């Protein structure tokens, strides 16, 4: 009797060993929002013979936060497909895998797909200390380290640079070097920053057949160590129907003589066609005379100056910096529209006008201009500190120009 029982138990053990079912899924780790290809391997599963329903389970219920699709039954022991993970799930997290088959009972895999801490699985790029800023026209290198990446084991790495989400071609790559020590997964990228590269921050992407596309925002900045700026502009007031010489002084890196700039005048963000730059005559690299032709149709008021040096490289805007008044040779306006007081004046001189004051000029009795002053902003009321401008005591003519016209009066300074 004991012999029969022993034989029966042995037969049952052999049967279980022959027909026990099991499954595995690979890969079995993911992150929120990821869609990836998987392979499900089975044992005694009859995938091909029966009809399969594949679900993911959380808290003993089928969940929609992980969905299997594109089922392809290769044979009785192999299924391929795609898993999509919801972008709203937290981490860490985990789903069980359940396969129902019309022939076999449901098979449950408790450790189906796990969502570990994202920092332990998601490929990321980290800049090093040298990736803070590059100069235009510079040949340099960029060091990038990876985490959870395969920069050294992948067959190739394709690197692109972006500005405002658009791929940039002015930063070229001459060589890529891959290092596994002293830091794992480090790329040294030899760069050439073209002279016409736009200034500002750049992003980059690294793509390979293992990691896919890894994107890193604002990884470095392109700067201009030698800005070519306008420091000052003299005689920045003109009239309609006038040819006017304006004198510009640039920063130490300006090159008026070597490469004259492009100058445009804008009003309300629209380039004016009524202020024409006739010529730019450079005295040297730092100083130039710009001859303007102000057409009779030019709109009166203040203009911004857009300054390009050279085109595509540096753009500088001088806001509310140029003023167009009434037409040249216009008649004097009525004295009642402008008040100049006190007269005689000693320390302070006040000017009140019905229109915006565009310039104030002082002339001696021979008609020679002693001083010209232009308000820093639009105003109808201007106060001049005579003690600061150091005009000697005496008799002068003062000419006040407004958008309406001009008025000339005799002024005594005590």
Instruction: Quote the percentage of the chain above a pLDDT of 70.
Output: 84
Using CA atoms, how far residue 336 sits from 130, 274, 392, in Å, is 67, 32, 28
| Contact in structure between 345 and 362 (CB atoms under 8 Å) | no
Is the pLDDT reported for residue 364 higher than 80? yes
Question: Per residue, what are the HEC states of 40-61?
Answer: EEEECCCCCCCCEEEEEEECCE
The last residue of a domain, from among 308, 327, 346: 327
Q: What is residue 310's predicted lDDT score, i.e. its pLDDT?
A: 54
pLDDT tens per residue across span 280-298? 898 988 888 889 998 878 8
Query: In this structure, is residue 14 part of a structural domain?
Result: no
Residue carrying the six token digits 């040779």:
329
Same domain membership, residue 298 and residue 243: yes
Q: What is residue 40's predicted lDDT score, i.e. its pLDDT?
A: 93
Query: In this structure, is residue 295 part of a structural domain?
Result: yes
Number of domains in the chain: 4
Q: What is residue 329's predicted lDDT score, i.e. its pLDDT?
A: 45
| Contact in structure between 69 and 81 (CB atoms under 8 Å) | yes
Nearest to 115 by CA among 151, 147, 88: 88
Q: Which residues fall within 8 angstroms of residue 166, CB to CB, at 6 or more apart? A: none
CATH number at residue 348: 2.60.40.3080
Q: Which residue has the higher pLDDT, 230 or 103?
A: 103
Same domain membership, residue 218 and residue 141: yes
Q: Which residues fall within 8 angstroms of residue 150, CB to CB, at 6 or more apart? A: 123, 185, 208, 210, 211
Query: In this structure, is residue 11 part of a structural domain?
Result: no
Domain of residue 175, residue span: 124-223
Q: Which residue has the higher pLDDT, 129 or 410?
A: 410
**Spatial distance between the Cα atoms of 184 and 276, rounded to a whole number of angstroms:** 60
Confidence of residue 1 (pLDDT cuts 50, 70, 90): very low
Same domain membership, residue 137 and residue 99: no
Query: In this structure, is residue 40 part of a structural domain?
Result: yes
CATH number at residue 192: 2.60.40.10
DSSP-derived secondary structure for 249-284: EE-TT--TTTSPPEEEEEETTEE-SSEEEEEEEESS
**Spatial distance between the Cα atoms of 299 and 327, rounded to a whole number of angstroms:** 10
Least confidently predicted of 149-153, 173-177, 200-204, 273-277? 149-153
Query: In this structure, is residue 39 part of a structural domain?
Result: yes
Is the pLDDT reported for residue 5 higher than 60? no
Beta strand spans in 18-102 (E): 22-26, 35-43, 52-58, 61-62, 66-75, 78-85, 93-101
pLDDT tens per residue across span 58-74? 988 999 999 999 999 99
What average pLDDT does range 248-274 have in this prediction? 80
Residue carrying the six token digits 């990876």:
146
CA 403 to chain centre: 40
Same domain membership, residue 202 and residue 218: yes
Same domain membership, residue 287 and residue 320: yes
The last residue of a domain, from among 63, 87, 119: 119
- How high is the mean pLDDT of the chain? 80
Same domain membership, residue 285 and residue 212: no
Query: In this structure, is residue 13 part of a structural domain?
Result: no
Q: Which residue has the higher pLDDT, 99 or 184?
A: 99
Same domain membership, residue 294 and residue 267: yes
**Spatial distance between the Cα atoms of 143 and 272, rounded to a whole number of angstroms:** 46
Q: Which residue has the higher pLDDT, 24 or 260?
A: 24
pLDDT tens per residue across span 366-387? 777 788 887 877 788 999 988 8
pLDDT tens per residue across span 90-139? 777 889 999 998 888 888 888 888 887 666 667 888 777 666 788 877 88
Query: In this structure, is residue 388 part of a structural domain?
Result: yes
Nearest to 305 by CA among 328, 293, 322: 322
> In terms of DSSP bridges, do strands 275-282 and 287-294 run parallel, antiparallel, or are they unpaired?
antiparallel
What average pLDDT does range 301-322 have in this prediction? 65
Q: What is residue 12's predicted lDDT score, i.e. its pLDDT?
A: 42
Residue carrying the six token digits 């000017």:
351
Is the pLDDT reported for residue 306 higher than 90? no
Same domain membership, residue 277 and residue 234: yes
Confidence of residue 7 (pLDDT cuts 50, 70, 90): very low
Q: pTM to 2 decimals?
A: 0.39
Strands of the 242-250 sheet, one edge to the other:
230-234, 242-250, 287-294, 275-282
Query: In this structure, is residue 190 part of a structural domain?
Result: yes
pLDDT tens per residue across span 14-62? 443 445 788 999 888 887 788 888 999 998 898 998 899 999 999 889 9
Using CA atoms, how far residue 168 sits from 14, 63, 198, 216, 400, in Å, is 66, 43, 9, 15, 52
Same domain membership, residue 356 and residue 279: no
The H or E element containing residue 398 is strand 394-402
Same domain membership, residue 313 and residue 351: no
Q: Which residue has the higher pLDDT, 358 or 310?
A: 358
Same domain membership, residue 128 and residue 115: no
Nearest to 157 by CA among 197, 204, 194: 204
The last residue of a domain, from among 119, 140, 174: 119
């Amino acid at each position: 009797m004991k012999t029969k029982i022993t034989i029966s138990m042995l037969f049952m053990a052999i049967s279980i060993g022959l027909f026990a079912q099991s499954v595995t899924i690979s890969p079995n780790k993911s992150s929120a929002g990821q869609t990836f290809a998987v392979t499900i391997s089975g044992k005694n599963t009859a995938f091909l013979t029966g009809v399969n329903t594949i679900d993911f389970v959380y808290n003993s219920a089928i969940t929609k936060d992980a969905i299997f699709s594109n089922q392809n039954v290769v044979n009785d022991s192999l299924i391929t497909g795609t898993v999509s993970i919801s972008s709203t799930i937290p981490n860490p997290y985990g789903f069980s895998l359940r396969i129902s088959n019309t022939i076999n009972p449901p098979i449950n895999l408790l450790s189906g797909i796990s969502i570990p801490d994202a920092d332990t699985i998601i490929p990321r790029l980290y800049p090093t200390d040298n990736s803070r800023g590059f100069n235009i026209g510079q040949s340099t290198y960029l060091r990038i380290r990876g985490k959870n990446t395969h920069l050294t084991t992948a067959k190739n790495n394709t690197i692109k640079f972006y500005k405002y989400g658009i791929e940039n071609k002015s930063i070229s790559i001459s060589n890529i070097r891959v290092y596994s020590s002293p830091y794992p997964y480090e790329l040294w990228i030899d760069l050439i920053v073209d002279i016409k590269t736009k200034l500002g921050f750049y992003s980059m992407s690294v793509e390979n057949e293992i990691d896919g596309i890894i994107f890193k925002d604002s990884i470095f900045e392109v700067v201009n160590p030698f800005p070519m700026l306008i420091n000052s502009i003299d005689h920045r007031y003109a009239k309609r129907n006038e040819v006017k010489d304006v004198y510009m002084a640039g920063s130490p890196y300006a090159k008026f003589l070597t490469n004259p700039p492009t100058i445009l005048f804008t009003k309300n963000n629209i380039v004016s066609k009524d202020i024409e730059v006739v010529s730019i005559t450079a005295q040297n690299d730092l100083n130039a005379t710009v001859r303007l032709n102000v057409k009779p149709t030019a709109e009166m008021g203040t203009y911004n100056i857009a300054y390009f040096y050279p085109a595509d490289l540096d753009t500088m805007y001088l806001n509310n910096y140029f003023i167009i008044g009434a037409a040249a040779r216009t008649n004097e306006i009525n004295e009642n529209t402008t008040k100049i007081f006190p007269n005689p004046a000693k320390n302070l001189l006040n000017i009140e006008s019905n229109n915006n004051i565009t310039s104030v000029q002082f002339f001696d009795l021979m008609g020679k201009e002693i001083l010209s002053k232009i308000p820093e902003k639009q105003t109808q009321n201007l106060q001049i500190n005579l003690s600061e401008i150091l005009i000697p005591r005496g008799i002068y003519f003062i000419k006040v120009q407004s958008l309406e016209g001009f008025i000339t009066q005799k002024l005594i300074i005590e």
